[in-house]
Chains A and B, each alone.
Chain A
Amino acid sequence: MSSNFLNATKPVQRCLFLVGAWGLVVAFGWLPAWADETTATPIDYLRDIRPIFAEHCSSCHGPEEQESGLRLDDRENLLVGGDWGDPTIVPGKSDESFLIRVVSGEEPDLKMPPEDEPLTATQIELLRTWIDQGASMPKHDASKHPQHWSLRPIAVVEPPAIDDPWIANPIDAFVLTRLREAGLEPSSRAEPRVLTRRTFLTLHGLPPAQKTLKQDSGTHAELVDHLLRSPRYGERWAQHWLDVIRWAETTGYETNLARPRAWPYRDWLIQALNDDMPYDQFIFEQLAGDTIGIDAALGFLVAGPVNLPGQIGKDEESMRQARQDALDEVIRTVSGSFLGLTMGCARCHSHKFDPIPQRDYYAFQAIFAGIQYGERRLRGEENDRWTAEAEKVKEKLDVARNGLEALRRELKLLPPLSPNNHTEFFEPMLADTVRMEIQSTNHSGRPTLFELEIWSAGETTSKNVALATNGGQATASSFALENQSRHPDNLIDGILRTGDRFPWIANSAGAGWIEIKLAQAETINRIVWQRAEEFPVDYDIKVRSPNGDWTTVAHPRNRMLHPEDTRPADKVTLEGVDETDVENLVAQLANARKLNGEYNRLAAGPQVFAGVSRPAEPSYRLKRGDPMQRMEQVEPNVPGVLGSIGVAPGADESVRRVALARHLANPENPLTARVMVNRIWQHHFGAGLVRTPSDMGKMGEEPTHPELLDWLANEFVRSGWSVKALHRLILSSSTFCQSHQPRPEALSVDADCHMLWRFPPRRLEAEVLRDSILQVSGKLNLDASGPGFDFFNQSGGLSDYVPKEEFDESGWRRMIYAKKIRMQQIDVFGAFDCPDAGQMTAKRSRSITPIQALNLLNSTFVNRQAGFFAERVRALSSGDPAELVSRAVELALGRPPTKAETRQLASLCEQHGLEQVARVLFNTNEFVFLP
């Protein structure tokens, strides 16, 4: 609603308001059952009121804009009122408050919100109650001091001074203190074999291999060191990060096409973890690695799904919307992963819960305004090899080209058709019709052209008389009916490839013709044809004079062949050139073409799907997130509540990313260390100290152990941001090493195990389960790095993905090396809450379903592996069934069987084979749970 309109209607409004204030009975809407409860409890502005304003009002009456002079986050302003003059609120008197009248529809000419759905009865009632209770609120709610715990500086904390033999390191002091406050005691140390299995599964995502089991002599700390040195560690922990950023090797959406060069990012990530890359550097490389020659790391920025240009509408709104969506994915990735902030919420309006005005969202977007989805050159050793190789190929190419030029002169041929579009000149002649008869195209495909221009003679007055706007009319031998028009009208629309125009294409390969009738006879002297991918290489252009005579004015059979002309020699006719010479020419041309292709590939260097840098586009705040409603231009920055990255307006796009990386990696940033420490904790204990790992905002949960979180964050920074040091710290705690045995008295107080009175056991993730089965069957292939293996027989494209049921050795690699197809659940293991890479998954659900049971019992994969497992056992032991099953249980579960188990399994083995024993073991709870 414009302010003019508001002004114009003001007197009417005022009048109605007076009537209303005197006489109207307030109509209460329908209230849900719990509304009583609401009225009874004091309204909390931040919890109850601010979200309503943020969602419905603040885009016009907030920090950025104050339409009608009204600003709802400012109590002073509310008491005074906006341009209308009526106090927006009268504390204690909701009936007299203008706010209530406009939102409840009591003002017929001024309804708020103006266009959207009205507020619900519940929301209006909340506003009423809030006003009646005095309308208390912070003086300026979106103000300077970040009160929320996660935005306060990380506190310097001393571990509680508590002495207990259970305490192995300061973590335990924090945990034990909290436990005792709740009247709980921790659990005793887990059995060594349980602890070993737990540590293996946690750090490697694999159960202990047989030979490790024998090494009982080492200490737990030695085991941890040993495991952290293994490359299996990075392979396991990389998955956690890939979940967070929903990395996948396809685009997502309808086409879901492959990103075949995305995998170098996955390899970079695994290596970074194995190298214990300091976390500040880990951040830097993923945001700005290109500035120091680390290109693969930028795969982080473009990990998310995005629509391909072909799937985006040709109208301006669709194109802008698509760009906004693409950038939104980048913002979600960066803010969710490093900051634990749900910045995406501020796209359409100021964040409802966290102090992120909408403007800050677009300022953050501006940091990435130069990033496009695509491949960039992957510098490094391979690239250097390619560059050297390219030089050699270039020499050969030059020789080949020189040879061709010599041949052309020898055969007395004119230079070839121009590389892109071609102009045929001829003596001026009067014409009313022009016809192009195409015999063949460069790949012997369907004849096609973008444009056929016919230029009138005359130095200054020359014009394209073919254009439809100049009266030209086009016809053709045929035209293709594809999704879009391929009509000959495209030849004379005067528009080249601008995205929403198309070429003429005939509906079948081979010969075809086009004909342009001019509005009247014109003197013409040149014809230009604009090529598409396919283009004519043998044709005749004929011109008709008004008396009806046709003259051929141009053909290319007296020219050298075009470099892209791939016709076989027997389809080529050249004037004055005999068959042998044509064959020779075609062969030399093919050789040069091959060398040229090779040169282009090598010169471009190896690629990685890691985003393309372009000059940054200007960024604007968008009203309600609508790409068609640009408001003020914004400069790159982090949300104001986190300070500033201090880059000059219009700074180079990489400068913006470097500044952000430095800002995030600054130990003063209250979120960076907390968020990462919490993630690491989560993957040890199944839940973080903050149980909403990518949301440390107001809607997230509060930490269960705030002091411990800060102490760990400080330790993390102090260690030089070493993730492995953090692992050692956590893994050496008694908290981690305690038993997972349930205890009734503790269950009754803290069933969720928030306080960690035992180690919380949990179902294994999909990847760990598959890798573990392969390890136990003896088939695990430890080939690391490089392109991934396929879970599908048919991948990419629009149609279905068909899952592969049988794998060979290449498919028995660890699952982190499977090509990750977005939105496609993989066979068998996808049902185990494997994220689909659609949305970010900081925390997986762990559901238990009958489909999981069917998959583990009946799938080809599990049954084949059960067969391999049985073979392995038989190779290791030649004894009776009891001995065989004993060996099988040891391999699968890392312990000898009980007598009862031996009896049952041996009987199964005798009657139905060792394969069934193996199948059963893969399905047991003990195998499927992390103890």
Chain B
Amino acid sequence: MLTRRSFLTNTYDGLRGIALASLLAEGGLLAKDNDNGPRIDQANPYATRPPLFEPKAKNVLMVFCCGALSQVDTFDYKPELIRYDGKPLPGNENLTSFQGENGNLTRPLWQFRPRGEVGKMVSDLVPQIGKHSDEICYLHSLTTKTNTHGPAENMMSTGFTFDGFPSMGSWISYALGTENQDLPSFVAIEDPRGMPQAGPNNWASGFLPAAFQGTPFSTTKPIRYLTPPGNLNVASDRQARQVLNQLNQDHLARFPGDQALAARIASYELAARMQMSIPDAAAVENESQHTLELYGADSANKNKAAFGRNCILARRLIERGVRFVQLFNGAYASGGNLNWDGHSKLKQQYDVHGEILDQPVAGLLADLKQRGLLESTLVVFCTEFGRMPMFQMGTYGRDHNPNGFTCWLAGAGVKTPYSYGATDEFGFQSTENVISVHDFHATILHLLGLDHERLTFYHNGIERRLTNVHGTVIREILA
């Protein structure tokens, strides 16, 4: 990536180069002069921009399990937890966690079995995902900075617990633009059951320009205002837009060199193309019956079918070159009824959620693989934090645990099959190769050919980064 200084020296092209730089600065699209960030052409903010070094992955598909998916009931197999079932957690007999007192250690509520050729122990809650273990790099030692859902979702999506920081998808769109000029660079797909807990902050652009915010839409919640109002006929719309373009062109001719005016004209052209390309990308109904079955999108379970269709939509967007797709599984706080927040009756609730999650995500992995998309796409499976190996005092569920949880990666540039990092013998806290969310983010950026320390944007006194002032690329998990 060029620094801005060298950009101006190298690509200086008389008036035009200067005018462009001017436009960028005026639009607040450039950081300060000493910044390392990419340069954005205001007329074409989604233009493909080169990474800093040869990338392994071109795009990212993130599956975000809202509500804190229990690691000890899914991917983090702990035989000692079975042995110590019903006994206090040694050394932490009186632990107070997010909601208060904890009871005794409780064995996983689903049986673990070896999956894939590698024989990875994965529970019966997510058997179909487990079957893909040969394609998966499990990270068992994640830690985060807070034990509260909203801030923790912020942390996973933006690198900060606070509201108002740019999300990972925004940073990546800002850095790389997108491959398909006719689609948004960053799409957020909400769970059919509702909004994630930190809401739109998960895909907000924060202080980055609005061009880089996630565009939220799903198979159950279409994009707004993509088509003219219902009562307007096509011919009227076409002529109105032609006249608009003519008026704007005439106006531009009176102000030659005002690039922002040209940028706005270009934005209407891009909008017109999106009107064609978004419905095409979202036409999940065009998929074959075989594909629908693969994802469970034909299921009689309404939520499973809808999530399955969202998974298909995610694949269709990736296929068309969308840079970052953030796919949510689980909705807002609901006593664990609509997401993975299993405090009180984890078994009963997870049985419902597991059914919705497992086949569609497994189908997504299989489909990405068979279409060759896993070679260029990084799949990120994450949650905001984990859960305690104990039941809470007097309930049948587990409290929040920010000190040890599992996420996994699959696809481009990732070492598979592989398991990295570990929690202690009960799955209580990370002890081996501890990973911070910043490390996780730094690694994702690295796979895209980006240096997390050099992807910056000046805001209120600081050259901001996705990784704040932390983060180390986990080199051991790179293919």
Contacts and interface: CB of A to CB of B under 8 A. Distances in A.
Contacts of A912: 235-236, 239-240
A821 to B, nearest CB: 10
B239 A916 contact: yes
A752 B148 contact: no
A924 to B, nearest CB: 5
A644 interface: no
Which has the most chain B C-beta neighbours within 10 Å: A484, A912, A924, A928? A484
A799 B195 CA distance: 6
Given A342-B461, A853-B271, A823 B164 contact: yes
A209 interface: no
B301 interface: no
A850 B267 contact: yes
Which has the most chain B C-beta neighbours within 10 Å: A479, A486, A825, A855? A825
B147 A911 contact: no
12 contacts: A254-B150, A254-B333, A314-B98, A315-B96, A502-B100, A747-B15, A752-B22, A847-B45, A848-B266, A907-B243, A911-B236, A925-B251
Interface string B255-282: 1111011011111101100110000000
B243 A908 contact: yes
A914 to B, nearest CB: 11
Contacts of A700: 461
A484 B261 CA distance: 57
A55 B341 CA distance: 36
Given A345-B462, A832-B210, A854-B225, A924 B98 contact: no
Interface in B242-259: 243-244, 246-248, 250-252, 255-258
A845 interface: yes
Contacts of B232: 863
Contacts of B209: 833, 845, 847
Contacts of A502: 100
Contacts of A822: 163
A490 interface: yes
A761 B396 CA distance: 62
A748 B14 contact: yes
A823 B204 contact: yes
Interface in A715-762: 740-742, 744, 747-748, 751-753, 760-762
Interface stretch (A231-239, A443-451, A897-905): A897-905
Given A744-B257, A825-B200, A860-B229, A751 B147 contact: no
B252 to A, nearest CB: 7
B394 interface: yes
Interface string B131-160: 000000000000000111111010000000
Contacts of B470: 117
Given A342-B462, A854-B225, A926-B251, A762 B26 contact: yes
A748 B22 CA distance: 10
B28 A844 contact: yes
Contact of A798 (B45, B197, B210, B226): B197
A311 B206 contact: no
B420 interface: no
A484 B343 contact: yes
Interface in A786-829: 798-801, 803, 822-825, 827-828
A838 B162 contact: yes
A739 B465 CA distance: 39
A744 B251 CA distance: 17
The A contact surface, by secondary structure, is: loop
B21 interface: yes
9 cross-chain pairs, A with B, having the tightest CB-CB distances, nearest first:
A838-B164, A751-B22, A254-B150, A342-B461, A485-B394, A487-B394, A839-B164, A838-B163, A845-B28
Contacts of B200: 823-825, 836
B32 interface: yes
A315 B97 contact: yes
Contacts of A763: 260, 264
A319 to B, nearest CB: 11
A770 interface: no
Interface string B428-457: 000000000000000000000000010000
Contacts of B274: 850, 854
B370 interface: no
Interface in B65-121: 96-101
A800 B194 contact: yes
B45 A694 contact: no
B191 to A, nearest CB: 11
B225 A253 contact: no
A312 B96 CA distance: 13
B36 to A, nearest CB: 10
Contacts of A924: 244, 247-248, 251
A484 B392 contact: yes
Nearest to B258: A742
Given A484-B100, A912-B235, A744 B15 contact: yes
Contacts of B344: 481-485
Contacts of A799: 194-195, 331-332
B460 A854 contact: no
Nearest to B201: A823
Contacts of B225: 828, 854-855, 857-859
Which has the most chain A C-beta neighbours within 10 Å: B149, B163, B256, B459? B163
A847 B45 CA distance: 9
Interface residues of B, number: 114
Interface residues of A, number: 120
Contacts of B271: 850-851, 853-854, 857
Interface string A845-887: 1111111111101111001000000000000000000000000
A63 B147 CA distance: 33
B236 A913 contact: yes
Nearest to B33: A701
B204 A854 contact: no
A695 B204 contact: no
A857 B228 contact: yes
B384 to A, nearest CB: 11
B418 interface: no
B224 interface: yes
B210 A831 contact: yes
B460 A483 contact: no
B18 A256 contact: no
A336 interface: yes
Contacts of A833: 209-210
Contacts of A316: 96
Given A318-B147, A483-B344, A824 B199 contact: yes
B251 A849 contact: no
Contact of A761 (B228, B258, B343): B258
A855 B101 CA distance: 50
A340 to B, nearest CB: 9
B25 interface: yes
Contact of A313 (B18, B147, B198): B147
B257 A849 contact: no
A325 B260 CA distance: 39
Contacts of B472: 117
B207 A841 contact: yes
A28 B226 CA distance: 55
A670 B310 CA distance: 56
Contacts of B469: 55
Contact of B247 (A482, A748, A762, A904): A904
A907 B22 CA distance: 38
Which has the most chain B C-beta neighbours within 10 Å: A744, A823, A852, A859? A823
B19 A483 contact: no
B150 A253 contact: yes
Which has the most chain A C-beta neighbours within 10 Å: B148, B195, B227, B274? B148
Interface string A318-337: 10010001000000000010
Given A500-B100, A836-B204, A928-B264, 10 more contacts: A313-B148, A485-B100, A500-B99, A753-B22, A798-B197, A799-B194, A847-B42, A853-B264, A908-B240, A924-B251
A307 B332 CA distance: 16
Contacts of A760: 26
